[in-house]
Amino acid sequence: MIWTPNSIGRLIELSKTKLSSTKIANELGTTKNAVIGKLHRIKIKNGHIPKPVQLRTNKKVSISHFKKLGKKPCNLCKKMFMSYSKHDRFCDGCKRCSPYTDC
Ligand SMILES: [Zn+2]
């Protein structure tokens, strides 16, 4: 089917009446798949034009991950250090040096 501005307008009108795609297709003299495809391409669902998707901009970032957990012993040098997360296992001094260098 070749979609003309008139047939597209008729399609939009019929889609607002909540008729099934098959009935709209019979009305327009085309196939159900042509109707579904055209409604999808012009982004109309049951006569409803969906809102454009908005990106979340003011997403709240949890700061609990960065809260101070208190002092705990370093896994390498056993010195007490201030830990900022439960995954923080090494003191700042040990984080800066690699096990293969002297620091
Ligand atoms: Zn350490």
Cβ-contact 66, 31 below 8 angstroms: no
29: left (phi over 0), alpha (psi -120 to 50) or beta: left
With CA atoms as reference, report the closest residue to 93 among 72, 71, 73, 77.
77
In the prediction, which pLDDT does 26 show?
Answer: 92
Range among 4-18, 41-55, 57-71 with highest mean pLDDT value: 4-18
CA of 98 to the centre of ligand 1 (A): 11
On the question of pLDDT at 38 being above 60, the answer is yes
Is residue 30 predicted with pLDDT exceeding 70?
yes
CA distance linking residue 81 with residue 9, whole number of Å: 71
pLDDT at 56 over 70: no
Flag whether pLDDT at 96 surpasses 60: yes
Q: Going by C-beta distance under 8 Å and a sequence separation of 6 or more, which residues neighbour residue 96?
A: 103
User: Where along the chain do its domains lie?
Assistant: 5-41, 65-103
Report angle CA 65, 63, 94 to the nearest 5 degrees. 45
Determine which helix (DSSP H) or strand (DSSP E) holds 42, and give its type and residue range: none
**Ligand 1 ion: nearby residues, β-carbon < 5 Å:** 74, 76-77, 91, 94
Residue 64 confidence (pLDDT) above 70: no
